[in-house]
């Protein structure tokens, strides 16, 4: 049976050091001029965080830095350390407040994040990213991540699925390569994925992160842990179709180390309405996880290589499909450029066209606009294609490495006559005498 962490485990820590950690996560829905009752809700969120005394609060969709500065001022007595991550046109929306000293911070902006011409969705303008803060928690080195992935606007026809898979892959790669040497790893945020969605399985299987909802024995919150519910005053019912009661898309994920492991003792969510308040904190429900730090020889719980290979194969298939669709979009942009250029030439050839100056100028402006639009779209889709190809190559490397662990044969970079990768024994290479 594991015992709570004691001070001597971490060297010169104070003997009264606690062995529990409270983590909070909320998508604040803080779009100024668009989100309802934004200022009043930030006041409510500040009161909640000040009252509940969480160790770490992970916030998403704090789109305005003014709102962050308001919270920073309000929470300075209870959470003296904070960091606001800036990226994209209107920001990343990510913020961290902590009772414990933040030693360092790092931001990674996702390579794919929707399309600029999809104005009604707007994800492209927010620099969706993952933020990392390294926090000194009771003398332990905690790597704390906060993130927000691209939204799913249609379950049946999800045109952004390849983008979200790429984001999931970049997220897990970022966590894997930056969490080495960490005593504690905590990730919170709005993943915009259901628990068993491909991107979610990919993230958990390759990082060893564990879902607090499935981990805890004590849960107090919405049915099935839902964080977007029909009973919330701000929820658009059409966003839940075909899930009438709600969906679970916000998470707190945890992982320990060989020094310390973590267990989620309890998890709770808000339940829509707030007592003595006219409206909820947000259109999402907030999560609070009470974590216990335990002695541990090794807390790694990696899935079998065969299962990880299967998940990577699924992800590669989605990325390939996204690649084909993006190449088709680039071809359309190329045809638009050619057509606009041809029309532009026809308009300004007096021997072929005899329009008035006004008509000619108008048609020329339209053709020039179409030509520039086509060129910009061509460049955009070319960039997306490169990201998708790079992600597929990385997934192939990962899949080959997992195959080597399973079979003892490594996959060479060349291909056999039938197009499949060649397998070679993984033993050490010996020079011929």
Question: Residue 266 has which token pair?
Answer: 């309890």
- Return phi, psi of residue 413, to 5°: -75, -20
163: helix, coil or strand?
Answer: helix
- Catalytic pick among 150, 284, 384, 403: 284
332: helix, coil or strand?
Answer: helix
Mark out the alpha helices in 302-356 (DSSP H runs).
305-347
Q: What is the C-alpha to C-alpha distance for residues 280 and 283, in angstroms, rounded to an integer?
A: 7
DSSP 76-137: TTT--EEEEE--BTT---EEEEESS-EEEEEEEE-S----TT-TTT-GGGB--EEEEEEEEE
Q: At what angle do helices 305-347 and 357-407 cross, to 10 degrees?
A: 160
Q: What is the C-alpha to C-alpha distance for residues 201 and 257, in angstroms, rounded to an integer?
A: 21
The verdict on whether 258 is a catalytic residue reads no
Residues 6 or more apart whose CB falls under 8 angstroms from that of 146 comprise 25, 58, 59, 60, 85, 94, 95, 96, 130, 131, 133, 187, 188, 189
Residues 333, 338, 343, 348, CA torsion sign: positive
Residues with a known catalytic role: 284
């Amino acid at each position: 049976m594991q015992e709570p962490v004691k001070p001597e485990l971490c060297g010169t820590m104070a003997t009264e050091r606690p062995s529990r950690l409270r983590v909070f996560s909320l998508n604040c829905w803080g779009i100024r001029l668009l989100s309802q009752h934004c200022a009043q809700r930030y006041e409510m969120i500040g009161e909640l965080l000040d009252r509940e005394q969480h160790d770490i609060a992970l916030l998403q969709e704090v789109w305005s830095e003014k709102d962050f500065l308001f919270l920073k001022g309000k929470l300075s007595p209870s959470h003296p350390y904070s960091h606001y991550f800036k990226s994209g046109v209107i920001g990343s929306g990510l913020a961290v407040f902590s009772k414990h000293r933040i030693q360092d911070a790092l931001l990674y902006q996702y390579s794919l994040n929707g399309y600029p011409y999809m104005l009604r969705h707007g994800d492209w303008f927010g620099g969706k990213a993952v933020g990392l803060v390294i926090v000194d928690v009771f003398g332990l080195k905690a790597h704390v991540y906060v993130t927000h992935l691209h939204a799913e606007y249609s379950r049946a026809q999800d045109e952004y699925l390849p983008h979200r898979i790429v984001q999931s892959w970049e997220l897990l790669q970022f966590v894997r390569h930056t969490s080495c040497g960490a005593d504690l790893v905590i990730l919170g945020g709005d993943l915009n994925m259901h628990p068993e969605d491909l991107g979610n399985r990919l993230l958990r299987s390759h990082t060893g992160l564990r879902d607090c909802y499935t981990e805890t024995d004590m849960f107090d919150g919405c049915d099935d842990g839902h964080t977007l519910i029909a009973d919330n005053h701000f929820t658009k019912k059409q966003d839940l179709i075909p899930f009438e009661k709600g969906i679970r898309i916000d998470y707190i994920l945890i992982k320990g180390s060989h020094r310390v492991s973590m267990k989620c003792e309890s998890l709770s969510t808000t339940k829509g309405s707030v007592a003595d308040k006219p409206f909820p904190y947000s259109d999402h429900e907030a999560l609070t996880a009470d974590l216990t730090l335990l002695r541990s020889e090794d807390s790694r719980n990696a899935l079998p290589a065969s299962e990880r290979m299967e998940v990577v194969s699924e992800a590669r298939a989605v990325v390939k499909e996204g690649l084909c669709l993006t190449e088709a979009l680039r071809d359309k942009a190329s045809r638009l450029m050619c057509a606009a250029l041809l029309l532009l030439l026809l308009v300004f050839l007096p021997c072929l066209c005899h329009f008035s100056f006004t008509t000619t100028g108008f048609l020329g402006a339209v053709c020039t606009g179409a030509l520039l639009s086509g060129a910009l779209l061509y460049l955009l889709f070319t960039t997306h294609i490169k990201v998708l190809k790079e992600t597929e190559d990385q997934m192939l490397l990962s899949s080959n490495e997992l195959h080597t662990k399973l079979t003892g044969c490594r996959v060479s970079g060349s291909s056999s006559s039938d197009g499949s990768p060649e397998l070679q024994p993984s033993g050490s290479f010996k020079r011929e005498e």
